[in-house]
């Protein structure tokens, strides 16, 4: 399990990353407001399309960070959401918002 000191550190990392994204203007759209973006993508030229896609990646990241912070509050941080095994510390160091262990993460990508 993740000890309290590490947990505090991961939390700080997550909060810092979250602030960084928000400083770049990334925010989660209100639920049900996604249709406007689909229209934008359809009419966008390639460069703008790329911008939208970058923003989409950042938004997904923001979502994962929020979920990780929620797991810290819930006391389930560092536990794989699929197999419920502890996530390796090295993985959490690299990706503090990881919600899956390496094995399950690889399965998801396959």
Alpha-carbon span 19 to 49, nearest angstrom = 25
Determine which residue in the list 16, 67, 83, 107 makes contact with Zn ion, applying CB under 5 A: 83
- Please report whether residue 104 would count as binding Zn ion according to CB under 5 A: yes
Query: Looking at beta carbons only, is 23 or 90 nearer to Zn ion?
Result: 90
Alpha-carbon span 104 to 67, nearest angstrom = 17
Determine which residue in the list 2, 62, 72, 101 makes contact with Zn ion, applying CB under 5 A: 101
- Please report whether residue 87 would count as binding Zn ion according to CB under 5 A: no
Which residues of the shown chain bind Zn ion in the complex (CB under 5 A)? 80, 82-83, 101, 104
């Amino acid at each position: 399990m993740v000890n309290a000191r590490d947990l505090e550190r991961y939390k700080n990392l997550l909060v810092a990353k979250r602030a960084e994204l928000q400083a770049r203007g990334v925010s989660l759209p209100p639920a049900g407001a996604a249709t406007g973006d689909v229209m934008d993508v359809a009419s966008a030229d390639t460069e703008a399309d790329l911008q939208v896609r970058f923003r989409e990646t950042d938004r997904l990241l923001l979502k994962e960070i929020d979920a990780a912070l929620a797991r810290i509050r819930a006391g389930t941080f560092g536990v794989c959401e699929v197999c419920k095994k502890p996530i390796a510390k090295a993985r959490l160091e690299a990706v503090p918002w990881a919600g899956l262990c390496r094995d399950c993460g690889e399965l998801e990508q396959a």
